């Protein structure tokens, strides 16, 4: 089975780990650069992007995370994780996020989303002080939007969403991420073990 890392400096990493284990993946919490060794993919969870940035700097994780993504390994960012992937943070995806984009008064809301490539009923999406994608490069595909603002995007093996499927038992985004890992492996990134 795939060995998936979950960045565990801050935020709701435990909920992602539980969901990934439920889908049959092995999970490793990532706190220092050596934890990235041999991973097949990485989740950057929701939380608080300023705190997460400080933790990444403290642990010297910025360059290792960029190298991990540059190797072609799939990365899945949710909410603060989307912010971490953007041009102003880790610079892994060609997007610029707006933090707390849905307005300070709207701390949290839920919405039924149609997401390109996700079959079945709409995804019940939980947004918590969520970002949206304000700018994106040509290689970035928009999978879903709210009021015209992208809230789910993909760039090759990089997936980023504004909401929290790990809090609602919605498994289809994590399944899509695990499928990205399988196809990355098929392209020759099989883990040496």
Q: Can you say which residues are annotated as belonging to the binding site? A: 47-49, 99, 128-129
Containing 12, the helix (H) or strand (E) segment is none
DSSP bridge partners of 145: 150
Minimum CB separation of residue 189 from ligand GLN in Å reads 28
Nearer to ligand GLN by Cβ, of 2 and 61: the residue is 61
Catalytic residue from among 26, 29, 57, 79 = 79
CA–CA dist 77, 87 (Å, integer)? 14
Question: Does 172 interact with ligand GLN (rule: CB under 6 A)?
Answer: no
Considering beta carbons, is residue 2 or 46 the nearer one to ligand GLN?
46
Element (H, E) at 64: helix 62-70
Longest CA–CA separation in the chain, Å: 50
From residue 19 to residue 48, the character string flagging contacts with ligand GLN as x (rule: CB under 6 A) and all else as - is ---------------------------xxx
Q: Contact at 8 Å (CB) between 70 and 47? A: no
Q: Closer CB to ligand GLN, residue 98 or residue 171?
A: 98
Active site residue 170: no
Contact by Cβ (8 Å): 3, 148: no
Q: Is 1 helix (H, G, I), strand (E, B) or coil?
A: coil
Binding footprint of ligand GLN on the chain (CB under 6 A): 46-49, 79-80, 83, 99-100, 128-129
Q: Just list the catalytic residues.
A: 79, 164, 166
């Amino acid at each position: 089975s795939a060995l998936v890392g979950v960045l565990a400096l801050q935020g709701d990493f435990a909920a992602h780990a539980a969901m990934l284990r439920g889908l049959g993946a092995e999970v490793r919490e990532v706190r220092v650069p050596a934890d990235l060794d041999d991973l097949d993919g990485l989740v950057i969870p929701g939380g608080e992007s300023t705190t997460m940035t400080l933790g990444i700097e403290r642990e010297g994780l910025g360059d290792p995370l960029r190298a991990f993504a540059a190797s072609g390994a799939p990365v899945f960012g949710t909410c603060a994780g989307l912010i971490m992937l953007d041009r102003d943070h880790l610079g892994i995806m060609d997007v610029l996020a707006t933090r707390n984009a849905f307005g300070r008064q709207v701390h949290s809301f839920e919405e039924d989303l149609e997401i390109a490539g996700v079959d079945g009923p709409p995804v019940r999406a939980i947004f918590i002080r969520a970002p949206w994608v304000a700018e994106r490069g040509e290689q970035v595909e928009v999978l879903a939007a709210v009021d015209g603002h992208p809230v789910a995007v993909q760039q090759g093996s990089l997936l980023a969403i504004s909401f929290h499927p790990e809090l609602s038992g919605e498994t289809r985004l994590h399944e899509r991420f695990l499928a990205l890992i399988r196809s990355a492996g098929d392209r020759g990134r099989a883990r040496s073990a």
